[in-house]
Amino acid sequence: MFEHDALDIEQRASTGALPPRSRVDRLVSEAYERYASVDDGAVADYIPVLAAADASHFGLSVVSVGGSLHEAGDVDIPFSIQSISKAFVFALVCEELGHEAVHERVGVNNTGLAFNSLIAMELNGGSPMNPMVNAGAIATTALVGASSAEERWARVQRGLSRFAGRELSLDEDVYLSESRTNLRNRAIGKLLQSYGRLDPDPLETVDVYTRQCSLAVTAHDLAVMGATLADGGVNPVTGEQVVSAEVCRDTLAVLASCGMYERSGEWLFEIGLPAKSGVSGGIVAVAPGKGAVGAYSPRLDTAGNSVRGQRACAHLSRSLGLNLFASVRGGTSETSEPEESHG
Ligand code: GLN
């Protein structure tokens, strides 16, 4: 699916800054043009309203840690954030509870199974495994400190809005459609409760989770949200410190291992960036210290990842030099130390 050999792109090291602005503009337009005509994959329909998405929409946005924008296509079309919300709710909970607590309560290992698997929990003694699959995400939402479901929802909505740098609102149609059909997620909530993994009411917690998945965002918003994680927790557009740099580090580690579901290994191998996707067709890919890519295109592969979004991210990772694992010979091996004085 990824056309390495066909791409005539010089491999760049991951260190340093993004290329100059005009070059980033050109490479974003090039990635857009290159994949605009791809129509592989299918729009998700297990949440009925998602089947009505316009499959032709395709938007690519790159936001740098300096706040510069590089965009092509449908970057202002709203869609529900879906599973991408998991990354940012996890960051908010890490900020609140810290590294150890989330490690212990939720876990950080890939399941190797689909995002809505119940078997993954059964095979692992009731552990929700990681915050990027539904079980772990529902367990994570339950950890947002609040005395009621309404307060929990308000905190999630406010927190995600700070990442986006604008007030995010609920897509009511998506929320109602998913609420009517989310029997699996309700089962996951009950199973978590049966294993003593969920303190608040399971159905109320699943309802907050369903709302967080129904927040409307654009490809541009995703890039700003991702760039906040790339920038030590400071939103590069508003300048607000949303979470700490340590929380960004922990969140990106989990995105690298689990963000693209059971395809996370393949994604890391091909693209080399922490990323998160959602079933409505969004992807956010984060280049620490540089910026982030937000992509939107509703047709998905069988794991639930946007086909055009993945291809465009692969292209941009290579052309912009974002792959975290890429190095080139000729770097400086040590930082210089002041000469010892002998006298
Ligand atoms: N709200 C969706 C669900 O729970 C999110 C899944 C996804 O984007 N992969 O099924």
Asked whether residue 187 is assigned to any structural domain, the reply reads yes
Question: What's the domain range around 112?
Answer: 86-213
Query: How many angstroms separate the CA atoms of 303 and 263, rounded?
Result: 7
| φ, ψ at 276 (rounded to 5°) | -140, 140
Reported as type and span, the H/E element at residue 59 is strand 59-64
Q: Identify the pLDDT of residue 2.
A: 67
Is it the case that residue 10 has pLDDT exceeding 90?
A: no
Whether residues 205 and 113 fall in one domain: yes
What is the side-by-side order of every strand in the sheet holding 282-287? 69-73, 59-64, 291-296, 282-287, 275-277
In the chain, DSSP finds a helix count (H) and a strand count (E) of 13, 9
Ligand 1 mean position, distance from CA 251 (Å): 19
Whether residues 120 and 196 fall in one domain: yes
Q: Is the CB of 116 under 6 A from ligand 1?
A: yes
Whether residues 198 and 262 fall in one domain: no
Whether residues 43 and 149 fall in one domain: no
Query: How many angstroms separate the CA atoms of 146 and 212, rounded?
Result: 15
Number of domains in the chain: 2
The per-residue pLDDT for range 161-215, each reduced to its tens digit, is: 999 999 999 999 999 999 999 999 999 999 999 999 999 999 999 999 999 999 9
What pTM did the predictor assign? 0.94
Asked whether residue 171 is assigned to any structural domain, the reply reads yes
The ligand 1 atom nearest the CA atom of 210: 1
| Candidates 83, 127, 280, 319; catalytic one | 83
Q: Is the CB of 115 under 6 A from ligand 1?
A: yes
Whether residues 163 and 180 fall in one domain: yes
Asked whether residue 250 is assigned to any structural domain, the reply reads no
Q: What percent of the chain has pLDDT over 90?
A: 88
Is it the case that residue 5 has pLDDT exceeding 60?
A: no
Asked whether residue 197 is assigned to any structural domain, the reply reads yes
209 is catalytic: yes
Contact between 61 and 68 (Cβ < 8 Å): no
Asked whether residue 10 is assigned to any structural domain, the reply reads no
Whether residues 111 and 197 fall in one domain: yes
Ligand 1 mean position, distance from CA 137 (Å): 10
Q: Identify the pLDDT of residue 15.
A: 73
Specify the residue with its C-alpha closest to ligand 1, atom 2: 82
Query: How many angstroms separate the CA atoms of 213 and 227, rounded?
Result: 20
Whether residues 180 and 119 fall in one domain: yes
Q: Is the CB of 213 under 6 A from ligand 1?
A: yes
Asked whether residue 136 is assigned to any structural domain, the reply reads yes
Whether residues 104 and 185 fall in one domain: yes
Q: Is the CB of 177 under 6 A from ligand 1?
A: no
Whether residues 74 and 140 fall in one domain: no
296 is catalytic: no
Reported as type and span, the H/E element at residue 163 is helix 149-164
Which residue(s) pair with 282 in the sheet?
A: 296
CATH number of 266's domain: 3.40.710.10
Contact between 137 and 209 (Cβ < 8 Å): yes
| φ, ψ at 61 (rounded to 5°) | -135, 135
| φ, ψ at 292 (rounded to 5°) | -150, 155
Whether residues 232 and 308 fall in one domain: yes
Which residues are annotated as part of the binding site? 83, 134, 178, 185, 209, 261, 279
Tell me how long the chain is. 343
Over its C-alpha atoms, the chain yields an Rg (Å, rounded) of: 20
Which residue(s) pair with 170 in the sheet?
A: 215
83 is catalytic: yes
Whether residues 90 and 119 fall in one domain: yes
